[in-house]
Each structure stands twice: as C-alpha cells, then as structure tokens.
Amino acid sequence: MKRRDFIKKSTIVTSVAGLSAFSLGCRRAEDEKNINVNRGKVVKLKLATSWPAHFPIMGTGVDNFADRCREISGGTLDITVYPKNILVPALEVFDTTSNAQIDAFHSGIYYWKGKNSAFSIFGGMPLGLTSEEMITWMKFGGGLELWREMYAKFNLYPLIGGTTGPQMGGWFKKEINSLEDLKGLKMRIPGLGGEVMKRLGVNPILLPAGEIYTSLERGTIDATEWVGPALDSMMGFAKVAPYYYTGWHEPGSILEITMNLTKWNTLSKEHQAIIQCATDEMTSNMLQEFRYKNALALQELPSSVQIKTFPDDMMKKAKEVLQDVLEEESSKNSDFKRALDSYNNFYVLNKKYDDISTKNFLEIRS
C-alpha cells in the first residue's frame, strides 16, 4: 500500500505538542523537592498490572511511572510494580484493588464493562474520539469527574495512565470481503468494539495478552485485535494470520492507573500531586512512543502481510449497530447515558473546529 493511501485511511493524527506539557508539573515538583514535607516518611505501595513483566511501552511505561514517583518524591513514595499473575491474575486487578488487597493497578478500562457498561466509554469508543480528544474531554469536558464518581462506588480512584493512539483493526486468518465473512468468526476483541462485532455475527472472546498468540495459533480464535504494528509484531501475529486490517474500534484507547480510594485518601497532598504529574508524564510519553515505534514497525512487517480495510457493507452495518448498542445501553443504565451525553456534548463542540483545523490540514497534506 502506498504511503499516501495509508495516510488517507489512517485515524486522525494525534497532536502530541499539547500533551508534552504534562511533564512540566513534574519538573517543577523535582525543583521543589528540597522542601519535601514527607522526607523520611516512606510510603510503600503495591501496584499490579494486566501485562507481562516489562512489556514494551505499556509495561515499561508503568515501570517508568514508579521510578519517576520515587525520584520526584526524593525516595518517599516507593511503588513496587507486580506484572500479571505475580500477585494477581491479569483480569482480577480491579477487584483486588477495590477490596484493598493491593493499593493500585494499571490496565485497560474496557476490561471492566461487566462491572458497569459506562466504563467502556471512558476507555474509548468505536468510530469516536482520538487520544488527544479523549484526554481533552476527560480533563476539561467533565469525563474525569464522571469516571471518578462511578469508580468511587467500587472504592477506587482512577487516573489517566497512558493512551495507545489509533489502533489497528486486527489480524485475520482469512480475508474479510463482506459482512457475511464475519459470521461465526471467533475473535479476541474487548469493549464496545466487541459488542458491535458480536452483533455483526462474531463471537467476541476476552483474553489477556499472554494467551492471544497461542489461541490464534491453535485455532481457538480466528482473529485478534491488539494494538498496532510495534506490539503486534512483537506478539508474532503475522506468522499465523496474514491479513492485517486498519482500525475503527479503538481510535484513542485510554489506560488507567487506579488507586484504592481509601488508600488514596490517606496519602499526603504532596504524594497525590506527585502521582498525578507522573501519570500525566506517562500518558504523554506513551502516546509519543507508540506513534514513533508503530511508524518504524510498519516498515518492517513481513512481505507476507497484507494490509486491508474492512469492506464497505461491514462498516456501514457497524455504524448502525453501534448506534443501536448506545441507545440500548443508555435505556438500561443511567450511568451509561450520563457518560454518553457528556461524551457526545464534547464531540459536537469539538467537531466543527477539528474539521476546519486537523481534518482540513490532513486533507491538504495528503
């Protein structure tokens, strides 16, 4: 595929200039650590993740977050990171933190839609906001306040803990030429994207990172989405599924650093501020690292990989089904409706300017 065509079919490029400013607060905190009111009072926290040890970008992002908290606090905030299955299974970190068995976790918000379907919106929506737009909505459009209110019911205090940028649509063992080709397909895909695919005839399956490749290789699943070229290449999906589809379901997924709320409230204002600025820095760095490494990895995909776009009839139906899902969930769950209304209000506010700025510029550039 030509570079020009790939750019046209990619999700809107996320601006990273504004996100880079997140790190300024951390630098100011470092400058002031000589007045550290917690000096000599070390607080130790246990944080479990849903990723393997030192997993690139997402896992190493958490490692760097813990290091930065230790560095900025002058050693008084000591966070130990536990990869998946060391203290807690990958998809049990929510409950374990809620129950105060550990202090915090790092994971993807969409994993918890079974707790409250509204959580899917805070994790990012199919055919919706990009990473920059999601963060803007959450920080300035009311999303963060709603998210924290809803998580408080589980004794949790969430912070934005990274973002992936636009994700790819997934790896398939067979080519998808029409909507009919999705019928009966077993696919690893979480969140609202998974619900949409389910209504298109797919059997969505939720799997943690470490189980995806083996399931794909053995035929337990027929397809999987993951993130983008950088992490997907490392997972080896190209060896068993040669058709690689451009994305629509996760244009700007948000990850989380979530604390046990009771524990968060025991922390000093200083330590809370350090955690906040370190998560902001982590989010900025993660987005930029994903963009750079995805661009590199795209050039290095095996020649056997065929980059595809989903057929028009599938995407047309997906848009219709998505609206059905949103309306049904809104009628069943008042939290979902409140989150969706806030999300949509920002979408409408943002779209007019985005169309004459980012979208217009990309069309001119292409």
Whether 15 has a pLDDT exceeding 60, the answer reads no
Q: Are residues 213 and 67 in the same domain?
A: no
pLDDT tops 70 at residue 263: yes
pLDDT band at 92 (very low <50, low <70, confident <90, very high): very high
- Identify the domain containing residue 70 by its residue range: 14-164+251-295
Q: Give one DSSP letter per residue of 38-102, joined into a string.
A: TTT--EEEEEEESS-TT-TTHHHHHHHHHHHHHHHTTTSEEEEEE-TTTSS-GGGHHHHHHTTSS
Res 271: pLDDT: 97
Query: Looking at residue 140, which CATH number applies to its domain?
Result: 3.40.190.170
Do 106 and 207 sit in the same domain of this protein?
no
pTM, entire model: 0.87
In a domain? residue 236: yes
Q: Are residues 149 and 68 in the same domain?
A: yes
The total number of structural domains in the chain stands at: 2
Q: Give me the half-sphere count of Cα atoms (radius 13 Å) on the Cβ side of residue 218.
A: 6
pLDDT in tens, 41-54: 899 999 999 999 99
Pairing of β 254-260 and β 104-108: antiparallel
Residues 122 and 58 in one domain: yes
How far, CA to CA in Å, does 75 sit from each of 46, 171, 247, 344? Answer: 15, 44, 42, 42
CB neighbour list of residue 52: distance below 8 Å, 6 or more residues apart: 59, 83, 84, 209, 210
Same domain, 235 and 270: no
Residue 149 lies in a domain: yes
- Mean pLDDT (whole number) for 276-299: 98
Domain CATH code at residue 245: 3.40.190.10
Do 52 and 122 sit in the same domain of this protein? yes
> Do 126 and 148 lie in a common domain?
yes
Q: 245 pairs with which residues across the strands?
A: 170, 308
Residues 153 and 245 reside in one and the same domain:
no
Residue identified by tokens 């806030």 is 342
Q: Are residues 42 and 146 in the same domain?
A: yes
Residue-wise pLDDT tens digits, 112-164: 999 999 999 999 999 999 999 999 999 999 999 999 999 999 999 999 999 99
Residue 256 · residue 94 · CB < 8 Å: no
Are 108 and 244 contained in the same domain? Answer: no
**Within-domain flag for 105:** yes
DSSP string, 210-245: HHHHHHHHHTS-SEE--S-HHHHHHHTGGGT--EEE
Per-residue pLDDT, 9: 43
State the Cα angle at 219 between 213 and 225, rounded to 5°. 45
Q: Let me know how long the chain is.
A: 366
Question: Which pLDDT does position 320 carry in this prediction?
Answer: 97
**Collapsing DSSP states into helix, strand and coil, what is residue 52?**
coil
Q: Tell me, yes or no, whether 257 and 310 share the same domain.
A: no
263 and 200, same structural domain?
A: no
pLDDT confidence of residue 206: 85
- Over residues 228-248, the pLDDT tens digits come to 999 999 999 999 999 999 999
- Interval 306-362: pLDDT, tens: 999 999 999 999 999 999 999 999 999 999 999 999 999 999 999 999 999 999 999
Domain for residue 366, yes or no?
no
Does position 61 have pLDDT exceeding 90, yes or no? yes
